[in-house]
Structure 1
Amino acid sequence: MNRNILQTSNERIQNFAGNAGASELFSIIMPTYNRVNVINQTLDSVFAQSYRPIEIIIVDDGSTDETASLVDAWKLSHEEENSLLIKYVYQNNAGPSAARNRGLAESSGEFIQFLDSDDLIPPERLEILAGIFQQDPDVDFIHTGFDGFCADCGEVIETHYGKPDQDQLEVALKGRLWPNTLRSAFKRSLAVATGPWNEEMTCFEDYEYVVRAIGKAKKCVALREILASARRGGGMRVSDNLRTYQGRTFRIMAEAALCEVVRTRTDVSQQAKEEFASRLYALGFRSAASGWPDLAKCCGELADSLGGELDWLGKRRRFMYRLGKFGGIANSYLGRIKNWKKHQKKKAQGHVCGKKHQE
């Protein structure tokens, strides 16, 4: 199998932006790293799509397992001339964002779907999304519901519905969007306008990318339906990353990108800005409680930049933020009491694999 040499980020993005994209073609961009045990399931879920034409761009980010051989075999038995094309690209390990940027550069489709190599999509997903894109030329961003399933037993352990009757930027400002790589789809023109994935970020990069895209979108559509499934288990959770200094830094970088979107838009309600500021103050005092005063200061500065009045919760959070580390510690104790009561109700809840899953 031909292994292409990694281009620089600028060259990749220039290649992508200069390609108008093939009409009606759906490009599935699939970064992978040592997922030989599950990638065939993800590929099968794409093969089962009722929609054609599709191209699958698999970007192998330096795998050391048998991913290349498996993809070769899958391609031989599944590729369909002119309707289902598979392209495999190998690069030295550079992280998921670099792999997605490489996939964008290699893609040819008018429609773009990012899909991690352990996740799944139901057979009707692409047909529904393509129909919406084709019906309304202004729609360039679609956000769907998704669920999470246990990697060990396959049981659905979390469900997140789309919010079709709400402005998607305001949903993000209120902290209710839950952006990730598989629930959003983009027109190629929007991906060009959004720019590259931030290759510096190793977590929250999907949040940062999606909020930038929403800020650039001509028209966003949200679907309540569950049209994607994320595999849970077998690796570090985002909540684990958040507990590290680096993870918190990346989270704040994503929130800063959202702040920048707010500054460039004149159609954001004051209530949404206030709720966003409130969330930032909360992130600030939690950072202070973790012993990261520099990150706490960044959160406070972002919140202050939004201006406006705060509701009672926002004022309480701002007060706790101004108390510094003490305020963060006091709030964490209150949070533990709340979580303890919540988890007592779920204490006996188990699943067929014998594990008790986190929310």
Structure 2
Amino acid sequence: MNKTDLISIIIPTYNRAHLIGATLDSIAAQSYADWECLVIDDGSTDDTAAVVGGYVAADARFQYHERPVDRPKGANACRNYGFALSKGAYINWFDSDDVMMVDKLAKQIDVLHSEGTNYCISQTMWVDKESGEDIGLRASAILSSQPLEDYMCFTIFWSILAPLWRRTFIEAHALQFDERLQQSQEYDFHIKALAIDSKYSVIHEPLAKMFKHEHNISHNWLYSDAKVTSNIVVKYRALKGYHEQLSLQGQVKVLEMVTLLYKDLLTMQRFAMAKYAYQTLLGMLPYVGVGRLTKFMFSIKVLVIYYSYRIFGKGYNLLKPISVE
């Protein structure tokens, strides 16, 4: 095996014994053979270790590791730990409930070789877990003329499994997953990468399948303080860190996303988290290029809707996102 072409596939997992077999089967079936697959267990209590152990025994390219106890629980710590253990010149983070098309690695590394870019994004197909039927693309587009802004605003999008990265790019810029986040961590990571280099290679063909099931379509995260906080923090950091690279419309769109989340929290009567969102909205305003009067009126309405819900339990239309022509 030529280590200069070795691809490291890094998979965090937690209690996925019933799902991870299909993921590992798709990796074993890759037409490109120079890979290692590191499964990092986040403390599973099911048969994950035994299932993965079978693959390790059958194929030395598979590895099973447990997240060290001195690292915080969560997929982000597992991804960072897996990267530290990996030896490949190319990196593909992946999830333990999705599958690769047989030529994913081969096609992406060929493009990176030929185009010399730092990473290659491929399309992803949504698949219904129960029926096995293709539902459609994960996102309608993965390329635009302003990828940082359009990714930040969800005009283009890809998930963790889509990119193949050059290790040199990740190491040169010390890119890591924020281990404090419990939501929007992929979004955060990809924004940081795009802010450094937005000239990536693209394969519009779906090279991975993402299964849509109860756990990845649930809105229960809105009831988790940690996940709501993570979502808000990432949007705030994105706007603060990169507002100068965004158009006014892009700045307003990022503010709008937190505004709508704030209103959802109010309708759910999650007032403590709504207050946190309210404070964050005020902190985001300096990074939005609208006039002082517009900012003042917006901040007043943010406060009015809060007390309207606290007192009357209604008032959704009292606050509308800032609009720009």
Give me the TM-score of the superposition, normalised by structure 2. 0.80
Q: Tell me, yes or no, if the aligned pair for 2:142 and 2:202 is still in contact at 8 Å.
A: yes
One of 209, 234, 257 as aligned partner of 2:189: 209
SS state at 1:324 partner: helix
Q: 1:315 to 1:294 in 2, by over 3 A?
A: closer
Report the counterpart of residue 142 of structure 1 in structure 2: 120
> How far, CA to CA, are the matches of 2:7 and 2:98 in structure 1?
17
CA 1:261–1:225 in 2, change beyond 3 Å: closer, same or farther? farther
**How many angstroms does 1:317 deviate by?**
7.7
2-side partners of 1:293 and 1:218: how far apart? 34
8 Å CA contact 2:42, 2:78 repeated in 1: yes
* Alpha-carbon shift at residue 173 of structure 1 (Å): 2.9
Partner of 2:32: 51
Read off the aligned partner of 1:305 and give its amino acid letter.
Answer: P
SS in 2 for 1:109: coil
The whole-number CA distance in structure 2 between the counterparts of 1:223 and 1:261 is: 29
1:121 deviation in Å?
1.3
Alignment-derived partner of residue 273 in structure 1: 251
Tell me what 1:3 maps to: none
Equivalence for 1:90: 66
Q: For residues 201 and 177 of structure 1, what CA distance do their matches in structure 2 show?
A: 22
Q: 1:92 to 1:110 in 2, by over 3 A?
A: closer
Does 1:152 find its partner at 2:130? Answer: yes
Aligned mates of 1:306, 1:180 — CA distance in 2: 27
* Candidates 299, 305, 319, aligned match of 2:286: 305
What is the Cα deviation at residue 45 of structure 1? 0.8
What is the Cα deviation at residue 167 of structure 1?
2.4
1:256 is matched with which residue: 223, 226, 236?
236
Distance 1:52 1:176 in 2: 35
Identity %: 22
Judged with a 3 Å threshold, the aligned counterparts in structure 2 of structure 1 residues 308 and 109 are, in CA distance, closer, same or farther, namely: same
Q: For the structure 1 residues 230 and 283, does the alpha-carbon distance in structure 2 shift closer, same or farther, using more than 3 Å as the test?
A: same
TM-score by length of 1: 0.73
> Which residue among 83, 101, 106 is the counterpart of 2:85?
106
1:295 has 2:271 as partner? no
Mapped partners of 1:235, 1:280: distance in 2: 23
Question: What letter is aligned with 1:262?
Answer: Y
Q: Report the more deviating stretch, 240-249 or 114-123.
A: 240-249
Q: Is the 8 A contact 1:282 1:321 kept in 2?
A: no
The letter for the 1-side match of 2:110 is: G
Relative to structure 1, the CA distance from residue 178 to residue 288 in structure 2 (aligned partners, 3 Å threshold; closer, same or farther) is farther
Number of corresponding residues: 304
**Residues 305, 318 of structure 2: 8 Å contact kept:** no
Secondary structure at the aligned position of 2:210 is classed as strand
Q: What is the alpha-carbon distance in structure 1 between the residues aligned to residue 7 and residue 283 of structure 2?
A: 38
* 2:213 alignment counterpart: 233
Map Cα deviations across residues 101-155 of structure 1 (whole Å, 9 max, x no partner). Answer: 1100011112111111111111121122112221222x22333322222222222
Residue deviations 1:200-233 (CA, integer Å, cap 9, x gap): 2222222222222222236333443322212222
Which residue identity is paired with 1:174? C
Residue 102 of structure 1: SS of its match in structure 2?
helix
Offset at residue 42 of structure 1 (A)? 0.4
C-alpha separation between the residues in 2 aligned to 1:100 and 1:180? Answer: 14
Does the residue aligned with 1:87 lie in a helix, a strand or coil? strand
| 1:245/1:120 CA distance change after superposition, 3 Å | same
Which amino acid counterpart does residue 212 of structure 1 have in structure 2?
K
* Counterpart Cα distance in 1 of 2:91 and 2:220: 29
> 1:146 is aligned with what amino acid?
T
Task: Name the structure 2 match of 1:31.
Answer: 12
Residue matched to 2:323:
none
8 Å CA contact retained: 1:277, 1:306: no
In structure 2, the CA distance between the partners of 1:301 and 1:135, relative to structure 1 (3 Å rule), is farther
Measure how far apart 1:169 and its partner are: 0.6
Instruction: Report what 2:166 is aligned to.
Output: 187
CA RMSD, aligned part only? 3.2
Cα–Cα, structure 1 residues 25 and 286, in superposed 2: closer, same or farther, change >3 Å? same
Partner residue in 2 for 1:126: 105
The CA distance in 1 between the partners of 2:213 and 2:282, in whole Å, is 36
**Which residue of 2 is the match for residue 198 of structure 1?**
178
Shift of 1:56: 0.6
- Tell me the CA shift for residue 301 of structure 1: 2.7
Q: Which residue of 1 aligns with 2:145?
A: 166
1: CA distance, partners of 2:221 / 2:44: 22
Asked if 2 retains the 8 angstrom alpha-carbon contact of 1:161 and 1:224, the reply is no
Secondary structure class of the residue paired with 2:4: strand
